[in-house]
Structure 1
Amino acid sequence: MSGTTTFGLTELSAHCAQLDDAGLAALLRVRPDLLNPAPADMTSLAARAQSEMSLRHLVQHLDAGTLHLLQALNRGEPYSAQAAPEAAAALERAGVLLEVAGEPALPANLPHVLENVPAGPPAPPRPGAKPVMSALVENASLAAISELLSEVEDLLTTLEESPAATLRTGGVGMRELKRITSARSGASSPKDPEVGETGWLVELSAAAGLIEPDADSGHWAPTRLAAQWHRAGRHHRLQLLVSGWLLAPRSPLLLRGPHPSARLAPVLTPERQRGDAPALRDRLLRTAEALTGPKPAELYTLDWPDDAEPGPETFSGPLLEQLAWDRPLLTARTRHVLLPMVREAERLGLLAMGALSAAGRAVVEDADLLAAGEPPSSLSSHLEAALPPLVETVHLQSDLTAVATGTLSPGTAQALGQLAAKETRGDVPTYRFSAETLRGALECGWSPEGIREFLTQHSLSEMPSPLSTLIDDAVRTTPSVRMGSAGAWIVEPDPQLRAALLAQPELSSLGLEHLSGEVLVCEASAEQLRSALRRAGVRTSHPDGAPAPAAQTTASAPPASTGAAANSAVRMTAADSPGSSPAAAAAWQLTASPWQQSPVRTVTPQMLARNPEVIDRALTALRSGGTGTKVSELGNDSALAGADVVGTLREAIRRRRTVRITRAGSGGTEHTAVGVPTAMNAGRLRLRHEDREEESLLLIHRITAVTEKESSSA
């Protein structure tokens, strides 16, 4: 056939009405933008399907073969369905290729949409990829995970001591990043790669909700979630970081490329917002998963130049070829973003040695579980079994250093950090002893005997004589008056149970240590200690046997003995430790990015299209011909309501209108504020209150609803 006609609303409405349920479901899956909001009837479905916006969305997501056929039809070239059966069937399912009076017909708006659209690759990529040893991939993945967890922990510790100041224009500037880098590394003049690394960690921590700006000062500091993150298992800690990365509407998070001439930039700025970033990350991992067989295969190579900007040849291989074939227009537009996203996935252990790791495959499985409304558990379960056990031992060397034999337990790492300065970072750090570090330990409550006992218990060899001499010198030059701090204590006469409590990771992360006799102390508050005991499976009670109260007053000093224990002393009895479960894993999976304006999960059109229940309800609404399925029935009301928050605030700022704002507090309670929004920047809203002549800063991601205040009737 030659020549191509066009069709309009009448023809497309009739076509949709003639489709059976399978055909309508296929149309909605191919064009998920039609699901949000749900179409009310066939006419509204057809009107939106032939709109220029919807057609542009479709063209962006066509594979190269289908795009070639569509462009040929648009040029009026002869058409034969047998020449490209799969591409023709795809266009028919999408409702853009109909037969009108025996001729192939395209939407009337299509010629305008296809103007200046380049063609994709001429041929699909060749199947097959070079196999990679599974052990190498998994070792590289687990090593990257352990190193990242250690780096984030170090950053949070630094920000606890000195939060990051923000610029007046929003974000954290280069001077502040260099200060944080110096505090982390000890270098007075950190190099640009180190500063860029700090920026990446700051962005990732903010994406995971581990840091946020203080409402009063605006400084970025660790959140309450960060305190829980420190005490959580490594599998849950990485799960939180991965979920934050997947959901963050910011890209790229990596602020510096691998080349020396890369430009550093401030972090946490509004300019890094990118709405399609979550979809791009999802597509990157799903494409890698589709190319991976039973065993890992080399999907890509990164050939970084040493002294030049990365060129087109930097990122190559089957992964990029498949991305370019599946979505030629989208890949061409986002290729510069895909490159740093691959690097980010490597840092998270999802890609390693050019292949998809088991952790990366588990992330894709968890995404499918979330889309189906089920709790994610694949990544958490994999990491819990795959990560090597924590160690308690170090190599003490005659050069006054201690080298860890693996990833140290939180308690051992904390104690060693009090005695020595961390000299190297990563999951297997090196600590250096000095007279200054040992004097600091003595002033904080360590005794010479306690230092020697700890090092003897945790060293694989005898204590070197230079270190023993250094301890003696530190004792001679340190005042004999010792002091310390204790926020809560435990009195337990059973030495075996005391030892078991000290060995609990949940408790050692709070700094729990043996003071004397039957007394254990920690720097955390009594409430924090009680929460940690519950998570560790330990019951608490008063000395008289009554259950401990819900709130415990923080003690200012520990009792001298068991007989002098006051009512705030807590007795412990062992209980069964709860195991891991999908519910526990789900607790460490973010439901929304902190960068979003509403603390609910954003439901993308692609997620809706993967949910069979959503498709079934949309079909019911279309067949009924009524007012259509309500958004709330599709489970997307929170996402759409959240999408209106920023728009409503911007309109209120522009028109100086009074609004009523509902926001969620840190404890989950809701608060209402009424006033006129005056500015919005860096994730914060400035509100001039109606009932008092003052302004305050509100965190936008805690705002759950915004409505204009109705004017009072005369």
Structure 2
Amino acid sequence: MPATTLADWLRSASDDTLAALLRVRRDLATPPPADSTVLATRAATAGSVARACEDLDTATLSVLETLLVTGADTEPVPRERVAALVRTDVGGALDRLRARALAWGDDEAISVAPGAREVFGPYPAGLGGPAPALADIDSDTVLAELGEDERALLDKLAAGPPIGRTRDAATRVPLERATTPVQKLLARGLLLRRDEATVELPRELGLALRGGLAFPPETLAEPELPVDAHSQESVDATAAGEAMEFLRHAEALLRTWSEQPPPVLKAGGLGVRELRRLARDLDVDEARATLLAELVVGAGLVADSQESTPEWVPTTLTDSWLASAPPERWVSLAAAWLDLPRLPGLAGARDAKDKPLLTLSEDLRRPLAPASRRRVLDTMGELPSGAGVHGVEELVAVLAWRAPRRGGRLRDQTVRWTVAEAAALGVVALGALTSAGAALLAGDRHGAASAMADAMPKPVDHVLVQADLTVVAPGPLEPDLAREIAAVADVESAGHATVYRITEASVRRALDTGRTATELHELFGSRSATPVPQSLTYLIDDVARRHGRLRGGVAASFLRCDDEVLLAEVLGNQVATEYELRRIAPTVLVSPVPLAEVLDGLRRAGFAPAAEGPDGRIVDLRPSGRRIPARPRQARRTLAEPAGLSEEQVDAIRKHIRAGDRAATTRKGKSVRLPAGGGSDTSATLALLAEATRERREVWIGFVDAHGTASQRVVTPVRVGGGMLEGAGNERYPLHRITSAALVED
């Protein structure tokens, strides 16, 4: 019986099977295939097969490789032959392969697309090519006759890959003259000579050395994931502590960059020295500093100023973020991390040209990073409540088994980075997913904030002032109290209890913000649970007594004149109010408005002022030419993972394929075809379509769609006119796109 082709198998598949295939292999649907033949051709290409294999686990991929070992890509093989090489139930794996059209046919004749061999290489399962001469030998007897050195070499090649390079392959010698293991094995016919420097272990002998199995049985079972049991409350409490510490570092970063924004490198990103300075200022390692910088930018709290000398500057969102409650602040950063299309863990590594990958640079952009993070967190979320993975390497092994062909060379490292970053943020703790992390993963930001609020210690409304001028906060302070204490004291150590130190400089800083000595005394007197030490009272009074005796102000321009009467005339004019002129000395007026504007206003008021430079000479302030605003740099677009097809799209494509199949198998009678080269005479076609309309007969048409794709359909015409062919199913075809037509025979 002839083998069933993939096109025939797809053509005979149920609508549900075809729809499921289109959902799981989205690349097959773009553009919509004209019929099952086109769909089969597309599904069998190496690129499409490789994409379809990305989500398959190790066991399923092993069955697919075993099918290639048996030659299912050239002729169908029975299920029993595959099962004999893996010695396990292959039914589930075959169902998954059939659902993706990677294999097809019934259990007596299973086929595989030829493109699969390109995907898995010339040595599927790590086995070499067949050697017909070894098909009927007694492998156990032959192997027992070998020396230890020969057997060791064969065992090494049997583990894969089955080829080895050696100079002993250059010449062939009889067995009695052979001196090396390679020469002996070549003489015995147990190795195949591929070229002057390459030998290959035959498939038959490789299977014999593996005990008749294509894969070791232990590799076909998912590795166990050891877990440690914790209460969910302890997990959440531990995560809350980490979250509060992360928020403290983020606040410190924003304060630091508000005062001294670091420059943006010409190639983009944050310089190595600036990163090290940030890590030193925050007292963290560079990996944590990188994560903090990436998240404040990812959350929109910091951005490239895009000026002539660009800097990383906090945005207007920073103030509202700082004014929010800790749980809301945490949610904004955690959500930004979850959807961040970048890999902060790559910072510090080197590219192919040995150049370092910098924090905040485009080199760290990886569009599929969010999907990788969710995959890790979803796996942790499958564990029972409070159960945490014993070690990250066990989690790496499980995820590698579940999708060995997904993630590329950074597959395992991405898992390690995700777990470390999630722990730093408080999304996971003690190896377990937190309640807030689970809510965030489900898209419930309100629930995540609520869960984190429940886990965080309740804010306290008091502090403990010590005699050594330290202030102890026995827990997280209420937002208003935290701002007041931060204004007058510096953090000395942080943790569950934060210690602040009051110094002369910190008191002066508080007075600079407009606070008075009386307000500071009231702050400590009303909020300290311990008596206020006399040393603190003396310090505040002493600094306040000396504060503000010398004052400075800001002025954008000044006017000076030896004639005090003229200055008085200026002050009496409306121009003084308009430009906020005020006298600071008998002969000097100042204004917050730029000098050019002030001078223009004075001239319009009838005065004749002149501008002078720093040396007292007259200068010309007239503009030297036309100016336009600087244009901000275009933001680079972020690639996204392809979205899934909707049910409507799947149904439309399925109907499109079925219609094409019907047209391809329809018997055609009387037909017409447009002249070669796209002639314009369509009278014969119109006559045939008109005849089909009158007689209510089906007609086969060939046409080219708007994408230039040729296709065919069977239509029952109901109207021909206005440049359109309308079918009984409300379908419409432009006449100028119809290339041929034929009546369908009964």
TM range (shorter): 0.5 to 0.7
1:200 to 261, 276, 291: 291
Amino acid at match of 1:617: Q
CA pair 46-398 structure 1, distance change in 2 beyond 3 A: farther
Identity %: 29
1:430-453 C-alpha deviation (Å, 9 max, x unpaired) = 221001211222233222221011
Q: Does 1:266 align with 2:358?
A: yes
The Cα of 1:40 is off from its aligned counterpart by 6.8
**TM-score normalised according to structure 1 size:** 0.60
CA distance in 2, matches of 1:410, 1:145: 16
1:137 to 203, 220, 235: 235
Native 8 Å contact 1:200 1:254 kept in 2: no
CA pair 444-417 structure 1, distance change in 2 beyond 3 A: same
| Aligned position for 2:650 | 618
CA pair 39-431 structure 1, distance change in 2 beyond 3 A: farther
The Cα of 1:468 is off from its aligned counterpart by 2.4
Q: Does 1:212 align with 2:303?
A: yes
CA pair 65-266 structure 1, distance change in 2 beyond 3 A: same
Native 8 Å contact 2:491 2:498 kept in 1: yes
CA distance in 1, matches of 2:34, 2:523: 71
1:108 to 114, 133, 139: 114
1:245 to 322, 337, 340: 337
| Aligned position for 1:343 | 420
Amino acid at match of 1:324: A
| Aligned position for 1:322 | 398
Native 8 Å contact 1:41 1:622 kept in 2: no
Secondary structure of the residue that 1:330 maps to in structure 2? coil
Matches within 5 A, 1:662-677: none
CA pair 598-252 structure 1, distance change in 2 beyond 3 A: closer
1:455-481 C-alpha deviation (Å, 9 max, x unpaired) = 122212111233223223323433457
CA distance in 1, matches of 2:346, 2:477: 28
CA distance in 2, matches of 1:72, 1:12: 19
The Cα of 1:283 is off from its aligned counterpart by 0.8
Unmatched segments (≥5 aa) in structure 1: 258-262, 302-314, 367-374, 486-593, 629-714
| Aligned position for 2:389 | 299
- Could you say which structure has the larger radius of gyration? 2
Matches within 5 A, 1:493-642: 597-598=636-637, 604-605=641-642, 608=644, 614-625=646-657
| Aligned position for 1:440 | 509
Q: Does 1:352 align with 2:429?
A: yes
| Aligned position for 2:475 | 406
CA distance in 2, matches of 1:231, 1:106: 61
Native 8 Å contact 1:254 1:344 kept in 2: no
CA distance in 1, matches of 2:499, 2:541: 22
Secondary structure of the residue that 1:16 maps to in structure 2? helix
For these two proteins, the number of residue pairs brought into alignment is 471
CA pair 117-80 structure 1, distance change in 2 beyond 3 A: closer
Native 8 Å contact 2:460 2:475 kept in 1: yes
| Aligned position for 1:164 | 262
CA pair 36-117 structure 1, distance change in 2 beyond 3 A: farther
CA distance in 2, matches of 1:15, 1:337: 39
Instruction: Single out whichever of 204-213 and 227-236 deviates more from structure 2.
Output: 227-236
CA distance in 2, matches of 1:476, 1:299: 60
Native 8 Å contact 2:59 2:93 kept in 1: yes
**TM-score normalised according to structure 2 size:** 0.57
CA pair 435-595 structure 1, distance change in 2 beyond 3 A: same
Amino acid at match of 2:259: E
CA distance in 2, matches of 1:38, 1:378: 41
| Aligned position for 2:131 | none
Secondary structure of the residue that 2:542 maps to in structure 1? helix
Secondary structure of the residue that 1:399 maps to in structure 2? coil
CA distance in 1, matches of 2:90, 2:480: 64
CA pair 131-151 structure 1, distance change in 2 beyond 3 A: same
Native 8 Å contact 2:511 2:547 kept in 1: yes
Instruction: Single out whichever of 216-225 and 25-34 deviates more from structure 2.
Output: 25-34
CA pair 109-420 structure 1, distance change in 2 beyond 3 A: same
Native 8 Å contact 1:63 1:328 kept in 2: yes
Native 8 Å contact 2:294 2:344 kept in 1: no
1:103-158 C-alpha deviation (Å, 9 max, x unpaired) = 11001101111116778934222376332222221111111112212211221122
Unmatched segments (≥5 aa) in structure 2: 72-80, 127-214, 350-354, 555-632, 661-746
CA distance in 1, matches of 2:92, 2:11: 24
CA distance in 2, matches of 1:378, 1:28: 35
CA distance in 1, matches of 2:364, 2:390: 26
CA distance in 2, matches of 1:297, 1:93: 34
| Aligned position for 2:492 | 423
Q: Does 1:57 align with 2:87?
A: no
CA pair 471-231 structure 1, distance change in 2 beyond 3 A: closer
Q: Which has the higher contact order (CA 8 A, sep 6+)?
A: 1
Secondary structure of the residue that 1:402 maps to in structure 2? strand
1:642-672 C-alpha deviation (Å, 9 max, x unpaired) = xxxxxxxxxxxxxxxxxxxxxxxxxxxxxxx
